[in-house]
């Protein structure tokens, strides 16, 4: 709910800014409000991607906790229960990984098989690393593989992939900042012209030709933003 309200405020601010800078029209503001639907989908997609990234990082720590518990002599099922307590202390009750491990513990208490629980976790998460781990875990559990070694190897592989992703994120952070500045520049230029040279730019408003020109400029700007966002949106 909080996220939805924030997105509503974000789009309202964008609609106000665009309607004033490009059209100086409240009618356009109300027209632009209809764009909240695709914008909401876009922001939810971003938020889901962020949550998956957080869950992936936390999953690595949880698997390390499971591996540590198994090295201490716990069975696979009890190792996941111990890892749940570790995740609760480390991240809190509301963290994604804590909620997932709480679900695992509840299903274990209902006497469900651990391999099916982990398979369900991998399917619901939508994260490739967790899905791959679940598939390997289920196969190893069925054929009686060395679970301690398998879990340790999985944790190592996930850690390596996350480190690569962190390096990419670090290298892209400066580019994202540059992109945000570039996205704001057109609005800054138009606001400056409206403030300092209003007579020069007023011809673009309140007439059909000017509005058509501003609409074309807005479409080109929006297309450029979308293309730039796709370029910097790298998933490992």
Nearest-angstrom CA–CA distance, 50 and 55 = 9
First CA to last CA distance, the chain: 30
CB atoms closer than 10 angstroms to residue 74:
17
What pLDDT is attached to residue 176? 82
CB atoms closer than 10 angstroms to residue 37:
10
- Report the half-sphere exposure of 203 (CA within 13 A, side-chain side): 3
Nearest-angstrom CA–CA distance, 185 and 188 = 5
Nearest-angstrom CA–CA distance, 82 and 94 = 17
Question: In this structure, are residues 37 and 12 in contact, taking their beta carbons and an 8 Å threshold?
Answer: no
Nearest-angstrom CA–CA distance, 67 and 85 = 14
Nearest to 58 by CA among 76, 79, 84: 84
Per-residue pLDDT of the chain (236 residues; tens, 9 = 90+): 788 899 999 999 999 999 988 888 888 999 999 889 999 998 888 888 888 888 888 898 898 898 889 888 888 899 999 999 999 999 998 899 999 999 999 999 999 999 899 999 989 888 888 888 888 888 888 777 677 787 778 778 877 877 787 777 777 777 888 888 888 888 888 888 888 777 778 888 878 888 898 999 999 999 988 888 888 776 55
The DSSP code for 235 is -
Nearest-angstrom CA–CA distance, 40 and 120 = 28
What pLDDT is attached to residue 67? 86
Burial of 204 (0-12, 13-18, 19+ CB in 10 A): buried
Nearest to 205 by CA among 35, 31, 27, 33: 27
Catalogue the long-range contacts made by 199-203 (C-beta closer than 8 Å, 24 or more residues apart): none
Does the global pTM surpass 0.85? Answer: no
Catalogue the long-range contacts made by 105-111 (C-beta closer than 8 Å, 24 or more residues apart): 105/80, 105/81, 108/77, 108/80, 108/81
Token couple for 138: 């289920």
What pLDDT is attached to residue 236? 52
């Amino acid at each position: 709910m909080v996220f939805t309200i924030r997105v509503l405020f974000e789009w309202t601010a964008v609609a106000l800014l665009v309607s004033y800078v490009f059209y100086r029209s409240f009618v356009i503001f109300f027209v632009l409000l209809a764009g909240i639907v695709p914008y909401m989908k876009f922001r939810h997609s971003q938020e889901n991607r962020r949550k998956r990234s957080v869950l992936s990082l936390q999953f690595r720590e949880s698997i390390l906790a499971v591996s540590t518990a198994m090295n201490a002599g716990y069975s696979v099922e009890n190792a996941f229960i111990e890892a749940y307590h570790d995740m609760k202390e480390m991240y809190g009750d509301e963290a994604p990984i804590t909620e997932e491990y709480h679900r695992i513990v509840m299903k274990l208490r209902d006497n469900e098989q651990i391999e099916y629980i982990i398979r369900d976790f991998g399917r619901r998460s939508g994260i490739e690393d967790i899905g791959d781990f679940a598939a390997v875990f289920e196969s190893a559990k069925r054929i009686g593989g060395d679970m301690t070694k398998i879990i340790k190897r999985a944790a190592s592989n996930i850690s390596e992939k996350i480190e690569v992703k962190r390096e990419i994120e670090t290298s892209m952070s400066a580019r994202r900042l540059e992109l945000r500045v570039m996205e704001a520049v057109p609005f800054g230029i138009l606001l400056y012209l409206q403030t300092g040279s209003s007579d020069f730019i007023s011809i673009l408003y309140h007439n059909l030709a000017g509005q058509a020109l501003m609409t074309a400029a807005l479409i080109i700007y929006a297309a450029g933003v979308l293309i730039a966002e796709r370029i910097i949106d790298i998933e490992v």
